[in-house]
């Protein structure tokens, strides 16, 4: 057996460690532990000269095991493994002791802290003797990307990747791509028409040779990990043969049944067979199976008769498509908060209390009123109130700021003034106009004569107390700038409703194994330094599924995720974890418990020489250890975390100094 | 509880009266923090802007008449709101529509101006009496310079010396100047700010016609208020002539070497920037250059000089209204000047002369402190 020659390095971390722990004393102590041939302390071990100490000792003193006692391994274990490797040793012949987070930062008593640091170092020294060299392997990276959600975020990410000539599978749940942006009329602060800037992109997505578009589809299952995710996509039956449908719309015209149109926010109706909007991509009809009278009751088939192309196919079944991708971009967007839960605002109780998206449809020339802002009775409003922060910045609903409402409220104020000459009252708490050209837009609206009233609206009532209030909706709030209660009678109220996580975000998170924050949006790996990655390698998040944001920020994020995916593809391989599980086939019973618990589907029970045993797919195993814990016979071991190693470490910690 | 409802008609009245800029106000409150009134009493400028936005102004409140139009707030407002225009619009609404109450003192001055062309209610024919013994010639076609002293030096015995000093300087330098006939009227700057737009229009028309028919090319004025309205407001009504404040005129003569000051004045002098010379018209250096040209004079500066200068309290028609003791800006200035050890407060505006003189007297500082217009100092130093 080789002689164990351990080098121990105690880091001061400036005064972070040395301010509490007597590092010299710890180094002296470590120097006399069995197997230790050199023990040093140094101000910053992670610095180049610090790392050089390790490399030099490996070369000059024949050190063949290394222990660094410093900060948390999260940041610098890779640094020191690399140094060990550069010194000519296998990087796994290294052990990290955390004497900062686990010691100096949490203790004030210098003597006790020094003693604890000694214990941690002793345990690491004991364990490092038992480390075996491990082989780091690379696996090929599947050069394709799954994008979930075909809003502006998903489309932008897909286009960027596809324009780099890499394959994209774009999965959209609705019959058409476009997302919320397709419902918007004009976009702040430039007021350019949303459709005009969106449709060319939609069309590019629809025709791109590198994009395989699956609409009316959902991701059902994802397994594997970065570099090779296996994805099952459910392509829901739309009862229309996409290849035959020419998008003429004859079917919808003939369909005798009408239901509220989701795209029009219920302000207009659509057929049960329908194309959601004129610019839909793909421009094909879809039968809404839930409402189809034929599918539900077995009678009708009016569409079939109307369709000259013969595209209707009532026999169509859901289809499962399986694809393999190297990375996944989640771009599932947001839902609009339903303000009906704030009963004092009277949404659904009063005809002329609307949400933002409803108002978008009113001002849109292609919308249900052909772009006219009209009250339910067909009159033009003479006065309009805009209510900010409905469901946002309110711990009863959502604590966060929805970021776009101040700006879209200004947009509506402008449109209301331009299209109707109505008096506009904007009830705000703070005006948050942070983006490029936003403050200027706010300034412009002031100039246009919008009445800004600072105060969160307390209620909207039709209970008139003066003649002027009769027949009006009265918006009641404090004018906090005057310290007076104010009642403003208006004809129409627009509630600037919060943007909230998708209703099915939890499920999507589960399928993808990504987490959500307390607010329900998907969690980024690091708010500041890794904002579009998730803690799961190879899965990225873009747009409003991560947090409410405007289109410019959404697009920037989408582009960032595309860049991340392309950079992985361009590297071509993924480094596989070396500390993975192995099975001692002589003890394994083939019970399959490991197969059940593994979140990465690495173990499978196979027959070897007629015996059922577990076999680990090394490319899938992440070394999480779930199998080792569950295995009733102790057949499974995680390399680098063997029973022997862990127990030696525990023993060292518990014995007298 | 008092409940507020936006009163659109009132907002419209204010907008029509020139209050349009109020739309821009985003209620930051910087104006309130800047306004000098808040050193002596509460005057929530921001709040007035918002009340005007909602048509919820209390037209009966004295706040409508408080602003001295010193422009401190306007220069700093982050939204560029012409706050003075809004204040003026509120006053117009009161003065012309009779919605609220015009303070008595202002009403009397306004009546005087409209009736006899000067706020003091003096007979028009005595406008040039201050120069009776000086043999100043009447302005005639071809006279180089018209000297227009302002109603205060023309009629007020205590301020007369300002005009007389100018005449003395001009005579010594043999400047070809004259006084216009007694048909001249108040320039109208302050009464306009006080909301009397019609009065202003008729005063301005009278003066413009008078100047034009007499072939006036250059007017030298003693008051920054005359300066401001001649320069910024008369041209819109057709009155085009070169306007110079006496400080500019004298400074340029000194600069050209035509005016030499030889008599020593071994005094500490602190200069107070008049709002309408400073902030309104950016004339800060000329008065100081003149003072520096007086041998022996030690020029002191207020800690808040130039752009930050404190108003004397006399702008916006406030000169005619009563400001209670304890709320007078000029008292603050006199106190500051005394602390600095100044012997003289130098000014360049007849309103400032009035207010500071009043403060010096009422504060019992007449023995140790004098108030002088720069023209007076120059005349003495020649
Ligand atoms: C009333 C209102 C007005 C606005 N006005 C403006 C404006 O003027 N200017 C501006 O910059 N921003 C505006 N915004 C914000 C703008 O809507 C968003 O920034 C933008 O739509 C976000 O795009 P997205 O792709 O992230 O999300 P979305 O537009 O929500 O798109 C997400 C897509 O994912 C699909 N999807 C969801 N879940 C799944 C799933 N599980 N599987 C497959 N597909 C799924 C959805 O069907 C949808 O197509 C406004 C927002 C509101 C509420
Ligand atoms: S400084 Fe300007 S914007 Fe701010 S409150 Fe005053 S007027 Fe309004
Ligand atoms: S102009 Fe002067 S007095 Fe008037 S509100 Fe502004 S700061 Fe106050």
Question: Domain with A108 in it: what CATH number?
Answer: 3.40.50
Indicate whether A524 and A553 sit together in one domain. Answer: yes
In a domain, A270, yes or no: yes
- CB contact, 8 Å: A444 with chain B? no
Inter-chain residue contact B23 with A481, CB threshold 8 Å? no
| pLDDT one-digit tens code per residue, A41-80 | 999 999 999 999 999 999 999 999 999 999 999 889 999 9
Question: Mean pLDDT, chain B, as a whole number?
Answer: 96
Q: Is the pLDDT of residue B276 over 80?
A: yes
Indicate whether A632 and A553 sit together in one domain. Answer: no
Round to whole Å and give the CA distance between A104 and A95.
19
Query: Which chain B positions have a beta carbon within 8 Å of A450's beta carbon?
Result: 23
Distance of CA A58 to the CA centre of its chain: 44
| pLDDT one-digit tens code per residue, B222-236 | 999 999 999 999 999
- CB contact, 8 Å: B32 with chain A? no
Question: Mean pLDDT, chain A, as a whole number?
Answer: 96
Q: Is the pLDDT of residue B165 over 90?
A: yes
Please enumerate in sequence order all residues whose Cβ is within 8 A of that of A317, keeping only pairs 6 or more positions apart, or say none.
A237
Indicate whether A84 and A57 sit together in one domain. Answer: yes
- Between strands A217-225 and A65-70, the pairing is unpaired
Dihedral pair phi/psi, residue A478, rounded to 5°: -90, 140
A548 touches ligand 1 (CB under 6 Å): no
Q: Is the pLDDT of residue A657 over 80?
A: no
| Spacing, Cα A139 to ligand 3 middle (Å) | 74
Inter-chain residue contact B23 with A454, CB threshold 8 Å? no
- Mutant choice from A445, A449, A466 vs B, greatest count of B C-beta within 10 A: A449
Q: Is the pLDDT of residue B201 over 70?
A: yes
In a domain, A645, yes or no: no
| pLDDT one-digit tens code per residue, A529-547 | 899 999 889 999 999 999 9
| Spacing, Cα A230 to ligand 3 middle (Å) | 71
Q: Shortest Cα distance from B234 to chain A (angstroms)?
A: 28
Q: Is the pLDDT of residue B99 over 90?
A: no
Dihedral pair phi/psi, residue B238, rounded to 5°: 100, 5
Structure tokens at A463: 């209970």
Indicate whether A214 and A288 sit together in one domain. Answer: no
pLDDT of residue B96: 81
Q: Shortest Cα distance from A461 to chain B (angstroms)?
A: 15
In a domain, A391, yes or no: yes
DSSP state of A523: P
Indicate whether A478 and A423 sit together in one domain. Answer: yes
Nearest CB to B54: which of A451, A468, A485? Answer: A451
- CB contact, 8 Å: B292 with chain A? no
pLDDT of residue B1: 63
Indicate whether A557 and A415 sit together in one domain. Answer: no
Query: Residues lining ligand 3, CB < 6 A?
Result: B 31, 34-35, 37, 45, 67-73, 83-84
| Spacing, Cα B31 to ligand 2 middle (Å) | 5
Three-state SS for A342-386 is CHHHCECCECCEEEHHHHHHHHCCCCCCCCCCCCCCCCCCCEEEE
pLDDT of residue A307: 96
Query: Which chain A positions have a beta carbon within 8 Å of B50's beta carbon?
Result: 479, 481-482
Query: Which chain A positions have a beta carbon within 8 Å of B56's beta carbon?
Result: 482
Inter-chain residue contact A423 with B3, CB threshold 8 Å? no
pLDDT of residue A224: 86
- Is residue A620 very low, low, confident or very high in pLDDT (cuts 50, 70, 90)? confident
Q: Shortest Cα distance from B47 to chain A (angstroms)?
A: 7
Indicate whether A61 and A103 sit together in one domain. Answer: yes
The domain in which residue A409 lies consists of: 335-500
- CB contact, 8 Å: B51 with chain A? yes
Q: Is the pLDDT of residue A253 over 90?
A: yes
| pLDDT one-digit tens code per residue, A314-352 | 999 999 999 999 999 999 999 999 999 999 999 999 999
Q: Are B248 and B348 in contact (CB under 8 A)?
A: no
State whether residue B72 is helix, strand or coil.
helix
Indicate whether A348 and A467 sit together in one domain. Answer: yes
Q: Which residues, listed in sequence order, are joined to residue A286 by a DSSP beta bridge?
A: A274
Return the CATH number at A598: 3.30.70.20
pLDDT of residue A619: 78
Inter-chain residue contact B2 with A454, CB threshold 8 Å? no
In a domain, A616, yes or no: yes
Examine the predicted complex and report whether its ipTM is higher than 0.90: no
pLDDT of residue A618: 86
Indicate whether A469 and A416 sit together in one domain. Answer: yes
Q: Are A560 and A251 in contact (CB under 8 A)?
A: no
State whether residue A388 is helix, strand or coil.
strand
Indicate whether A287 and A409 sit together in one domain. Answer: no
In a domain, A243, yes or no: no
CB pairs under 8 A between A and B: 57
- CB contact, 8 Å: B26 with chain A? yes
State whether residue B93 is helix, strand or coil.
helix
Percent pLDDT > 70 in chain B is: 100
Q: Shortest Cα distance from B20 to chain A (angstroms)?
A: 9
Q: Among B152, B378, B360, B374, which Cα is nearest to B271's?
A: B374
Distance of CA A442 to the CA centre of its chain: 31
- Residue A505's CB: how many other CB atoms inside 10 A? 21
Q: Shortest Cα distance from A491 to chain B (angstroms)?
A: 15
| pLDDT one-digit tens code per residue, A214-247 | 999 999 999 888 999 999 999 999 999 999 999 9
Percent pLDDT > 90 in chain A is: 94
Inter-chain residue contact B24 with A446, CB threshold 8 Å? yes
Return the CATH number at A368: 3.50.50.60
Q: In ligand 2, which atom is closest to the CA atom of B24? A: 3
Query: Which chain B positions have a beta carbon within 8 Å of A488's beta carbon?
Result: 5-6
| pLDDT one-digit tens code per residue, A576-594 | 889 999 999 999 999 999 9
Tell me the mean pLDDT in the region A189-204.
Answer: 96
* pTM: predicted TM-score of the whole model, two decimal places: 0.84
Q: Is the pLDDT of residue A380 over 80?
A: yes
| Spacing, Cα A157 to ligand 1 middle (Å) | 14
Last residue of a domain, one of A134, A158, A179: A134
Q: Is the pLDDT of residue B181 over 90?
A: no
Please enumerate in sequence order all residues whose Cβ is within 8 A of that of A319, keeping only pairs 6 or more positions apart, or say none.
A234, A235, A237
Tell me the mean pLDDT in the region A419-424.
Answer: 96
Q: Which residues, listed in sequence order, are joined to residue A309 by a DSSP beta bridge?
A: none
Closest ligand by atom to B280 CA: 3
- Is residue B314 very low, low, confident or very high in pLDDT (cuts 50, 70, 90)? very high
Q: In ligand 3, which atom is closest to the CA atom of B68? A: 3
For A50-74, letters b (16+ CB in 10 Å) and e give bbebbbebbeeeebbbbbbbbbebe
Q: Is the pLDDT of residue A1 over 80?
A: no
Indicate whether A293 and A225 sit together in one domain. Answer: no
Inter-chain residue contact B3 with A486, CB threshold 8 Å? yes
Indicate whether A606 and A490 sit together in one domain. Answer: no
In a domain, A346, yes or no: yes
Tell me the mean pLDDT in the region A500-512.
Answer: 97
Q: Is the pLDDT of residue A187 over 90?
A: yes
Tell me the mean pLDDT in the region B346-373.
Answer: 97
Round to whole Å and give the CA distance between B57 and A158.
57
Query: Which chain A positions have a beta carbon within 8 Å of B46's beta carbon?
Result: 481
Q: How many separate domains does chain A show?
A: 5
In a domain, A432, yes or no: yes
In a domain, A314, yes or no: no
Round to whole Å and give the CA distance between B234 and B315.
19
């Amino acid at each position: 057996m080789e002689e164990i020659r351990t080098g121990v390095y105690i880091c001061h971390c400036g005064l972070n460690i040395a301010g509490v722990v007597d590092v010299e004393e710890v180094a002296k102590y470590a120097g006399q532990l069995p197997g230790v041939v050199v023990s040093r302390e140094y101000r910053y071990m992670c610095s180049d000269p610090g790392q050089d100490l390790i490399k030099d000792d490996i070369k000059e003193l024949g050190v063949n095991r290394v222990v660094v006692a410093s900060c948390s391994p999260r940041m610098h274990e890779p640094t020191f493994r690399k140094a060990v490797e550069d010194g000519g040793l296998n990087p796994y012949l290294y052990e990290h002791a955390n004497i900062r987070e686990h010691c100096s930062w949490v203790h004030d008593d210098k003597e006790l802290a020094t003693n604890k640091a000694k214990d941690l170092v002793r345990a690491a020294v004991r364990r490092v003797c038992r480390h075996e060299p491990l082989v780091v392997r690379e696996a090929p990276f599947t050069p394709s990307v799954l994008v979930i959600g075909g809003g502006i975020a998903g489309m932008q990410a897909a286009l960027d990747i596809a324009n780099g000539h890499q394959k994209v599978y774009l999965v959209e749940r609705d019959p058409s791509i476009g997302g919320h942006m397709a419902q918007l009329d004009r976009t702040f602060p430039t007021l350019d028409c949303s459709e005009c800037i969106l449709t060319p992109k939609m069309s590019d997505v629809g025709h791109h040779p590198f994009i395989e578009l699956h609409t009316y589809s959902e991701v059902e299952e994802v397994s594997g990990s970065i570099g090779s995710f296996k994805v099952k996509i459910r392509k829901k039956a739309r009862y229309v043969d996409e290849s035959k449908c020419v998008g003429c719309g004859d079917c919808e015209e003939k369909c005798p049944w009408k239901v509220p149109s989701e795209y029009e926010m219920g302000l207009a109706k659509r057929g049960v067979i329908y194309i959601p909007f004129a610019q839909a991509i793909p421009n094909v009809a879809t039968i809404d199976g839930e409402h189809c009278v034929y599918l539900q009751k077995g009678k009708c088939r009016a569409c079939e008769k109307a369709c000259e192309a013969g595209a209707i196919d009532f026999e169509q079944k859901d289809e499962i498509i399986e694809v393999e991708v190297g990375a996944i971009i989640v771009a599932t967007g947001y839902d609009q908060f339903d303000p009906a839960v704030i009963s004092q605002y009277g949404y659904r109780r009063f005809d002329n209390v609307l949400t933002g998206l409803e108002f978008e449809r009113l001002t849109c020339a292609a919308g249900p009123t052909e772009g006219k802002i009209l009250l339910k009775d067909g009159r033009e409003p003479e006065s309009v109130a805009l209510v900010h922060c409905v469901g946002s910045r309110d711990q009863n609903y959502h604590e966060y700021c929805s970021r776009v409402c101040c700006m879209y409220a200004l947009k509506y104020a402008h449109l209301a003034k331009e299209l109707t000459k109505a008096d506009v009252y904007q009830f705000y708490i703070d005006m948050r106009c942070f983006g490029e050209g936003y403050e200027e837009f706010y300034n412009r609206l002031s100039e246009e004569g919008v009445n800004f009233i600072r105060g969160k609206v307390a209620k909207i009532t039709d209970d008139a107390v003066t003649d002027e209030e009769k027949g009006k909706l009265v918006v009641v709030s404090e004018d906090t700038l005057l310290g007076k209660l104010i009642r403003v009678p208006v004809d129409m109220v627009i509630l600037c409703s919060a943007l909230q996580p998708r209703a099915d975000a939890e499920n999507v998170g589960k399928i993808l194994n990504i987490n959500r924050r307390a607010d329900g949006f998907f969690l980024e790996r690091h708010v500041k330094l890794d904002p579009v990655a998730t803690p799961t390698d190879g899965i990225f998040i873009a747009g409003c599924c991560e947090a409410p944001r405007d289109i410019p920020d959404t697009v920037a994020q989408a582009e960032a995720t595309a860049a991340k995916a392309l950079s992985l593809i361009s590297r071509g391989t993924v480094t596989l974890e070396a500390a993975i599980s192995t099975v001692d086939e002589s003890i394994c019973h083939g019970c399959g418990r490991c197969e059940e618990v593994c979140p990465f589907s690495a173990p499978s029970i196979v027959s070897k020489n007629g015996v059922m045993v577990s076999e680990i797919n090394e490319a899938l195993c992440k070394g999480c250890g779930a199998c080792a814990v569950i295995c009733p016979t102790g057949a499974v071991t995680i390399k680098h975390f063997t029973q022997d190693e862990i127990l030696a470490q525990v023993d060292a910690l518990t014995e007298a100094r | 509880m008092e409940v507020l409802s936006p009163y659109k008609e009132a907002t419209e009245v204010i907008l029509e009266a020139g209050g349009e800029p109020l739309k821009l106000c985003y209620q930051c409150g910087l104006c309130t923090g800047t306004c000098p009134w808040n050193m002596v009493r509460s005057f929530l400028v921001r709040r007035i802007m918002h009340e005007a936005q909602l048509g919820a102004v209390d037209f009966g409140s004295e706040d409508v008449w408080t602003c001295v139009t010193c422009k401190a707030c306007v220069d700093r407002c982050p939204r560029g709101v012409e706050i003075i225009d809004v204040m003026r619009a509120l006053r117009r609404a009161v003065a012309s529509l009779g919605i609220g109450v015009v303070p008595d003192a202002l009403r009397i001055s306004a009546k005087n101006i409209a009736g006899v062309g000067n706020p003091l209610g003096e007979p028009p024919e005595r406008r040039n009496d201050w120069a009776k013994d000086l043999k100043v010639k009447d302005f005639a076609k071809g006279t180089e310079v018209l000297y227009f002293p302002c109603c205060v030096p023309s009629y007020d015995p205590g301020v007369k010396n300002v005009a007389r000093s100018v005449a003395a300087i001009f005579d010594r330098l043999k400047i070809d100047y004259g006084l216009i006939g007694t048909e001249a009227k108040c320039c109208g700057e302050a009464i306009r700010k006080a909301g009397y737009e019609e009065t202003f229009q008729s005063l301005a028309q009278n003066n413009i016609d008078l100047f034009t028919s007499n072939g006036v090319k250059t007017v030298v004025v003693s008051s920054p208020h005359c300066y401001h309205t001649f320069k910024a407001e008369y041209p819109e009504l057709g009155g085009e002539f070169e306007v110079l404040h006496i400080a500019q005129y004298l400074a340029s003569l000194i600069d050209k070497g035509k005016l030499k000051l030889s008599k020593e004045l071994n005094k500490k002098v602190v200069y107070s920037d008049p709002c309408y010379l400073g902030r309104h018209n950016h004339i800060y250096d000329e008065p100081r250059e003149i003072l520096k040209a007086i041998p022996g004079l030690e020029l002191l500066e207020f800690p808040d000089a130039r752009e930050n200068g404190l108003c004397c309290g006399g702008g916006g028609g406030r000169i005619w209204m009563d400001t209670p003791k304890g709320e007078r800006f000029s008292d603050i200035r006199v106190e500051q000047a005394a602390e600095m050890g100044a012997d003289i407060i130098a000014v360049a505006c007849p309103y400032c002369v009035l207010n500071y003189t009043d403060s010096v007297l009422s504060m019992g500082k007449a023995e140790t402190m004098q108030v002088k217009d720069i023209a007076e100092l120059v005349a003495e130093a020649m």
